[in-house]
Amino acid sequence: MPSLQRLKSLKRPKLRSLFFQTHRWLGLTAGILLCIAGLTGSILVFWHEIDRLVIAQRLGHLIPTGEALPIATIADTVKATYATKGLTLSSINLSDHANQPYSVWVHSPEEHYWWQVFVNPYTGQVMGDREWESSWVGIIYGLHYKLLAGEVGTLVMGIVALLTLVLSITGIVLWPGWRKLIAGFKIKWKQAHIKRTSFDLHKVAGIVTAIFLTFIGFTGFAWNVPQAKVTEAIHAVTLTPQPPDPISKPIPGRQPLTYADLIQRADAVISNATTTYVSFPEKPEDPFRVGKRQAQETDKWGNTRIYLDQFTGEVIRFQDGLKPTRAEAITNQFGSVHFGTFWGIPSRILYVLVGLTPSVLFITGFIMWWHRKRKNTGDRTSVNPLPISLRGSGRK
């Protein structure tokens, strides 16, 4: 009867082989989509900076003149202007640069397309607009988020994000550095077969970026596939009660409060906080939402959110960005770990390189598979049944 140690030694190669086969075939079958997600992600890391140059070239440079107009005034102007075109006011993003226009978003509920309107915050003048889906950044974002294929594409890229998570975990398990650390980072360049060089590049690029790709894959899956109820699971695991969705309660015969009144009520909830965006209700049940950033918050848009009943002005929910619940403390980090903003410019530069990694991994993985396939086809009797990462390990 085999000993327990003997059984464990027999199971280990089988389990490692399972991880290897999973890693290889997922990488080969989904590799092209992973490359698309990675390359477009690298571009989107600095899309705000690139887009500022594009907008300035098209609309000219904005010169600050005094104090910015009230948000409600700008919102009312854009709403009236674009209502004649059948477009509904959705939100307004305030710029964190004094010489940049505000971005006001309007859309067509029936045709599901969005327009970005640029407004001079000092005069209220509409400087120009663009259809988001046909803009350069809209195309890149559409490829990254949904392959320009609507809801089906959104689901597909959500699955791709999940595969990124699986590939990262299996890659970490298969990394040869666990047996000998120096072997995990060594790249043999001179007099090495292309298959060996590809393997070395694959293992080093993979392990260096694995943790970042894991977070990117997890957050991308959570956003693209809400059916998976990742947020609900986080609330359950952290033992945090999940609050009900904030809704307004329509009052028969009463119109919603004005934007100016609602914004004033939101400002009264918390002092010493900067408004970063306002989301306007499109249906009677929708809340009026104001996003704010407190001085101690590091996120560009802040994580402080105020939800108001649009008919009564009552505060339905208040999320303090400096005092999040256990679940909010986790979900508030989704954006920073997905877009690489957690260390500012250095981490964003790093994420440009991380976005290139799937292409490197796919190309090197394909080269290894191709040479292995040719060898198997040419001489089936000389095939080593163990994956390359196990060869020379001393196992019989």
Judge whether 76 lies within some domain: no
CA dist 132 and 137 (Å) reads: 8
CA dist 325 and 319 (Å) reads: 9
Question: What's the chain's length in residues?
Answer: 396
CA dist 147 and 155 (Å) reads: 10
Residue-wise pLDDT for 245-269, tens only, equals 999 999 999 999 999 999 999 999 9
Mean pLDDT score across all residues of the chain: 91
Reference 221, options 143, 153, 140, 157; nearest CA is 157
Reference 325, options 222, 240, 233, 231; nearest CA is 240
CA dist 340 → 74, 212, 271 (Å): 32, 9, 29
Domain boundary among 262, 289, 324: 324
Query: Could you tell me if 177 and 223 lie in one domain?
Result: yes
Judge whether 52 lies within some domain: no
The pLDDT of residue 392 is 41
By DSSP bridging, strand 304-308 and strand 288-294 are: antiparallel
Query: Could you tell me if 274 and 291 lie in one domain?
Result: yes
Expressed as residue numbers, the domain containing 234 is 1-33+150-240+326-377
The dihedral through the CA atoms of 294, 298, 300, 302 has a sign that is negative
| Sheet of strand 273-279: strand arrangement | 126-131, 113-119, 102-108, 88-93, 273-279, 288-294, 304-308, 315-319
Query: Could you tell me if 156 and 212 lie in one domain?
Result: yes
Q: Looking at the DSSP assignment, which residues form a beta bridge with residue 221?
A: none
Judge whether 130 lies within some domain: no
Confidence of residue 383 (pLDDT cuts 50, 70, 90): very low
CA dist 172 and 176 (Å) reads: 9
Question: Structure tokens of 281?
Answer: 């209700």
Q: Which of 96-105, 194-203, 379-388 has the lowest mean pLDDT?
A: 379-388
Phi-psi region of 253 (alpha: psi -120 to 50; beta: other; left: phi over 0): left
Question: Structure tokens of 320?
Answer: 């303090």
Query: Could you tell me if 226 and 370 lie in one domain?
Result: yes
CA dist 362 and 370 (Å) reads: 12
CA dist 362 → 36, 241, 263, 344, 374 (Å): 11, 42, 50, 29, 18
Query: Could you tell me if 186 and 316 lie in one domain?
Result: no
Residue 25, CB half-sphere, CA atoms under 13 Å: how many? Answer: 6
The pLDDT of 26-52, averaged and rounded, is 97
Query: Could you tell me if 351 and 373 lie in one domain?
Result: yes
Confidence of residue 344 (pLDDT cuts 50, 70, 90): very high
Judge whether 72 lies within some domain: no
Reference 199, options 162, 171, 165; nearest CA is 171
Query: Could you tell me if 263 and 333 lie in one domain?
Result: no
Confidence of residue 341 (pLDDT cuts 50, 70, 90): very high
Query: Could you tell me if 297 and 226 lie in one domain?
Result: no
CA dist 159 and 165 (Å) reads: 10
Q: Are 124 and 76 in contact (CB under 8 A)?
A: no
Judge whether 108 lies within some domain: no
Judge whether 258 lies within some domain: yes
The pLDDT of 23-42, averaged and rounded, is 97
Residue-wise pLDDT for 74-133, tens only, equals 999 999 999 999 999 999 999 988 999 999 999 998 777 899 999 999 999 999 999 999
Q: Angle at the Cα of 227 (from 222 to 231), degrees rounded to 5?
A: 45
Q: Which of 8-17, 222-231, 368-377 has the lowest mean pLDDT?
A: 8-17
Domain boundary among 291, 324, 357: 324
Query: Could you tell me if 319 and 330 lie in one domain?
Result: no
Judge whether 208 lies within some domain: yes
Query: Could you tell me if 229 and 348 lie in one domain?
Result: yes
Judge whether 112 lies within some domain: no
Residue 382 clears pLDDT 80, i.e. is over it: no
Phi-psi region of 305 (alpha: psi -120 to 50; beta: other; left: phi over 0): beta
Count of domains forming the chain: 2
Query: Could you tell me if 257 and 312 lie in one domain?
Result: yes
Reference 141, options 280, 216, 48, 212; nearest CA is 48
Query: Could you tell me if 159 and 306 lie in one domain?
Result: no
- Residue 282 has φ and ψ, to the nearest 5°, of -110, -20
With residue 130 as reference, give the H or E element that holds it. strand 126-131
Residue 11 clears pLDDT 80, i.e. is over it: no
By DSSP bridging, strand 88-93 and strand 113-119 are: unpaired
Residue 31 clears pLDDT 50, i.e. is over it: yes
Q: How many CB atoms lie within 10 A of CB 56?
A: 14
